[in-house]
Amino acid sequence: MKKYVLVTAMAVFVMFTACNTGGSRNASDSSADAPATEMMAADEQHAEMNVGGSCEMCKDRIEKVAGEIEGVTLASYDLENEKLHFHFDGSKTKVETVSKALAAAGHDTDNDKAPDDVYNSLPGCCKYRDL
C-alpha cells in the first residue's frame, strides 16, 4: 500500500512540475521566469509565402535558408501546399529579404524566380518546375 501511495504521489508531482515549466519557450530564451510576451521581439511579425519545392530535401533547404536570415525566429515549410510560414523581427529583416534568399538558393517564390543555373543545379528530386 505504501508503494502505491508513493508512486501516485510521484506521478502527481511530475505532472504538476511538467505543466508549470513553460514548455512552449525555446531553449535559447535567456530567462526562464520572464513572461513569454516579454521574450518576443518588439517588432515580431508573421508571414506566409508560396515557395516552390517538391521533396524533403527542398523542405530542409528552404527552412535552413530562411532560418539563417538574421531576424527570422521561426521558419516552417508545408511541402504539401508549398507554403513557407515564418516569424521575423521586422526591425532586422523583411519579407523581401527572405524571398530573395530563397530564390538565390533555387526556390521560386511569389515575388522572385530562382536563376535557371541555380535551379538546374538542384538534385533531380528537387525539380519542382517540372511537376
Dihedral sign, CA of 10, 14, 15, 17?
Answer: positive
Q: Assign 19 a pLDDT band (cuts: 50, 70, 90).
A: very low
Tens digit of pLDDT for each residue in 67-103? Answer: 999 999 999 999 999 999 999 999 999 999 999 999 9
User: CA-based Rg of the chain, rounded to a whole angstrom?
Assistant: 21
State residue 39's pLDDT score.
Answer: 52
Task: Say whether pLDDT at 33 is over 60.
Answer: no
